Amino acid sequence: MTGSGLSEIDRRAIDACYEQALESFNEGGLPIGSALTRGNEIIAVGHNRRVQQGNPILHGEMDCLQNAGRQISYRDCTLYTSLSPCMMCAGTIVQFKIPRVVIGENRNFGGNEQFLRDHGVDVEIVDDLRCVDLMARFIAENGALWAEDIAD
């Protein structure tokens, strides 16, 4: 999927992911942002706060879901993320039965797209160059922190 095939809410949510990733980068954290939508509304955003809050599980998707608060169901939601989800975040997506995930980029980290697909999640890759470039810059400038984040 490329940027030209996105719906209006997809564009707004991917923009929000990038803005959240940039905010985290500017705070000294990992540049990974996320947004959760229901219908045509963004109901929550978040970004990776592992460094900022010293919390090892506060990845971008987890922060977004936490910011969304308790939901009766996620079955009518889409989760957007600037970077392909790690196994922890992918497991949470499956656990919450989120039916669709839109990924800003998967060049810098392949994530777990096949795991999600194997569990019935519709996965779309946008290949947003802003997300690609920001993550590549972060990895080049902060290799040790990146390795820590992915437990490498």
Q: How far is it between the farthest Cα atoms of the chain?
A: 41
Cβ partners under 8 Å of residue 40, min gap 6: 8, 9
Gap between the Cα atoms of 100 and 79, Å rounded:
6
Residues 6 or more apart whose Cβ sits within 8 Å of residue 104: 14, 17, 18, 21, 80, 81, 82, 83, 126, 127, 128, 130, 131
Residue 8 known to be catalytic: no
Q: What DSSP string runs through 28-66?
A: TS---EEEEEETTEEEEEEE--HHHHT-TT--HHHHHHH
**Residue among 8, 27, 41, 61 flagged as catalytic:** 61
Active site residues: 61
